Amino acid sequence: MVLSKCFYAAAFLSASLLSVSEAAWAGGYQVNLQGQRQIGMGNTGVAFTNDASSIFFNPGAVARMPKSGVVLGGSFIFSKVKYLSATTNTVHETESPTGTPFALYAAYKINDKMAAGLGVYTPFGSSVKWTDGWEGRYALESIKLQAITVQPTFSYKINDMISVGAGLTYTFGSVALTRGVPLTAADGSLSRVTLEGKGSGIGFNLGVSAELNEKLSIGASYRSASAVGVQNGSATFTVPGSVASNFPNANFEASLPLPSVISLGAAYRPSEKLLVSAEVNYVGWSAYKELKFKYDTLIAGSSESVSKRNYKNAFIFKLGLEYAIKENLFVRAGTYFDQSPVPDGYMTAETPDSNTLGYSFGIGYKIGEAINIDASVLFVDRAKRENVAAPDANTLSGTFHAGAVIPGISVGINF
């Protein structure tokens, strides 16, 4: 992949500012923006210990924290998607609602060996709104996926070298989606459906962390798959009165899977000032087979609407650096390659996913021993990708190109 203008701009921006700290925007609708320090380092985090954000990145490392602590952070996703229609050669784009994923972690060291904590974070989300009347409006006008995971966690240090941890994840979220219905009223007004629902799902997060020597630590974690099931969503149709009886407002069921993630990583300190971190994730996206809305009543003669997704499992490769300029000031940089889980033909207007390069930069500043301020900026450069719509995907043919700039900041307090 050729480094784009986006990369140079990112490099320039960071060099001139040594900017803020960590977050990421990953394949599918997953959000990987759970720790500002980690974002700054290419979103690596399974292999080193830092603060309470290990609750997310590796529960096994929580017991290794020197002190109890609380971290609160958030990111701002400025994203845009453009679409060049394969048929009409017209370019359309999304309006850019700003996504604001956040993460809050609190970890308490019970004693030298044991720690307990709670994480509250945004595991996935998506906020896409295409301009009114765009070519794909019958596939999607807008979508807003929101979710929050609450993860109580316990971690235990077996010995000086190895520690393990486990957390239970309870995720609750909401989906709101509108798309056009291809019926026109006699006065020319268009029809649409709005699908709204809330649901929840549970899963777990396991981790093991090992400090092999003073310079090298490794870690592994497994976040289970879970699914956010919507039981009582509401489908609201705006259609011409004469056909309204065919489109009754209905309740629906739907399920959005959260993929499992296996992470393996290593962190190495060639010198006291430098930390190098490398990591690979294997994301179980094949759980996302279809997007199905099952109605409790017949809608235009059909009890469900099914759009195939057929996602494939995918890897993410990550690399990050942290350099201590001073004892209390750190600069960070990282990059990752996120393989798209979306097979050819199944790109959609809601997640126009493609292979992605992320470039990140960050700084960390310590105020005394107690307070950490971390900031990051992540540049997401998705490859331009052409989609020839698969017949069962209910999507569009054309070229999608998406990008995002995601600054974020967090404050941590250790006690």
Partner 1 sequence: MKMSFFYKKIASWQLKAVWVASLAFAVAACEPKLEAPSPSAGTADFSKYVAIGNSLTAGFSDGALYLEGQQTSYAYLLAQQMKLAGGGEFTVPFVPAGNGIGGGGGGKLVLGKIGGSLVPIPTPGDTTALRYIGDKGPYNNMAVPGAKAIHLPVNGYGSALGNPFFRRFASKATASIIEDAAAQKPTFFTLWIGNNDVLGYASNGGASDDVTPIALFDRAIDASIAGLKASNPNLKGAIATIPNILKAPYFTTIPYNAVDISAAQAEALNAGLRGAVASGAKPKVEAGVKAAVEVGVRAKVTEAVKAQVTTEVTAAVRADVKAKAIAAGQSEADAEATADAFVKSKDGQKTIENLVNDQMKSAEFKALIDSNTAAQMTSPEVKALVDAKVKEELDKLLVGLPTFVAGKNPFLIEDKKNPLGFRQAKAGELILLPALLTIRDPKFVPATPLPNNLVLSEDEVIKVVNGITAYNNKLKKVADENNYAFVDIAAFLDNVATGYSFNGVTYSTTFVTGGAFSLDGLHLTDRGAALITNEFVKAINAKYKSSLNAVDANQYLGIKFPQ
Q: Which of 139, 166, 283, 357 binds partner 1 (CB under 8 A)?
A: 139
Handedness of CA 254, 311, 266, 72 (dihedral sign): negative
Q: Which of 2, 241, 270, 271 binds partner 1 (CB under 8 A)?
A: 241
Q: Where are the beta strands (DSSP E) in 187-327?
A: 190-211, 216-223, 226-238, 250-258, 261-268, 274-283, 290-299, 302-308, 314-326
Rounded to whole angstroms, the Cα distance separating 166 from 169 reads 10
Alpha carbon 239 to its chain's center: 35
Q: Where are the beta strands (DSSP E) in 269-397?
A: 274-283, 290-299, 302-308, 314-326, 329-338, 356-367, 371-382, 385-387
Q: Which of 25, 35, 62, 135 binds partner 1 (CB under 8 A)?
A: 135
Q: Which of 137, 223, 309, 332 binds partner 1 (CB under 8 A)?
A: 137
Shortest separation between residue 355's beta carbon and partner 1, angstroms: 14
Alpha carbon 400 to its chain's center: 19
Residue 396 binds partner 1 (CB under 8 A):
yes
Six-digit token pair at 321?
Answer: 């650096």
Q: Cα torsion at 45, 48, 49, 51 (round to 10°)?
A: -30
* Burial (CB count within 10 angstroms: exposed 0-12, middle 13-18, buried 19+), residue 88: exposed
C-beta of 141 vs 279, nearer to partner 1: 141
Rounded to whole angstroms, the Cα distance separating 328 from 51 reads 15
Rounded to whole angstroms, the Cα distance separating 333 from 293 reads 42
Q: How far lies 152's CA from each of 105, 204, 272, 281, in Å?
A: 10, 10, 33, 23
Shortest separation between residue 223's beta carbon and partner 1, angstroms: 29
C-beta of 296 vs 392, nearer to partner 1: 392
Shortest separation between residue 403's beta carbon and partner 1, angstroms: 4
Q: Which stretch binds partner 1 (CB under 8 A): 111-119, 160-168, 177-185, 290-298?
A: 177-185
C-beta of 169 vs 354, nearer to partner 1: 354
Q: Which of 300, 370, 371, 388 binds partner 1 (CB under 8 A)?
A: 300
C-beta of 66 vs 133, nearer to partner 1: 133
Residue 384 binds partner 1 (CB under 8 A):
yes
Residue 19 binds partner 1 (CB under 8 A):
yes
Rounded to whole angstroms, the Cα distance separating 333 from 343 reads 30
Type and span of the H or E element at 52: none
Residue 298 binds partner 1 (CB under 8 A):
no
Residue 88 binds partner 1 (CB under 8 A):
yes
Residue 391 binds partner 1 (CB under 8 A):
yes
Q: Which residue has the tokens 């930069």?
A: 361
Rounded to whole angstroms, the Cα distance separating 86 from 346 reads 15
CB-based contact 7:348 (threshold 8 Å): no
Residues in contact with partner 1, total (CB under 8 A)?
69
Q: Which of residues 317-376 bind partner 1 (CB under 8 A)?
A: 325-326, 329, 331
Residue 3 binds partner 1 (CB under 8 A):
no
Q: Which stretch binds partner 1 (CB under 8 A): 80-88, 155-163, 201-209, 212-220?
A: 80-88
Q: Which of 68, 85, 174, 224 binds partner 1 (CB under 8 A)?
A: 85
Six-digit token pair at 413?
Answer: 């307090």
Six-digit token pair at 163?
Answer: 């520690």
Q: What is the largest CA-CA distance in the chain?
A: 75
Q: Which of 162, 176, 185, 413 binds partner 1 (CB under 8 A)?
A: 185
Shortest separation between residue 201's beta carbon and partner 1, angstroms: 28
Q: Which of 1, 3, 91, 298 binds partner 1 (CB under 8 A)?
A: 91
Q: Which of residues 189-228 bind partner 1 (CB under 8 A)?
A: none
Nearest to 396 by CA among 28, 81, 29, 84: 84
Residue 299 binds partner 1 (CB under 8 A):
no
Q: Which of 381, 387, 409, 410 binds partner 1 (CB under 8 A)?
A: 381
Residue 84 binds partner 1 (CB under 8 A):
yes
Residue 78 binds partner 1 (CB under 8 A):
yes
Residue 308 binds partner 1 (CB under 8 A):
no
Q: Which residues bind partner 1 (CB under 8 A)?
A: 5-6, 8-10, 12-13, 16-19, 78, 80-85, 87-91, 93, 133, 135-140, 179-180, 182-188, 239-243, 300, 325-326, 329, 331, 377, 379-382, 384, 389, 391, 394-397, 399, 401-405, 407
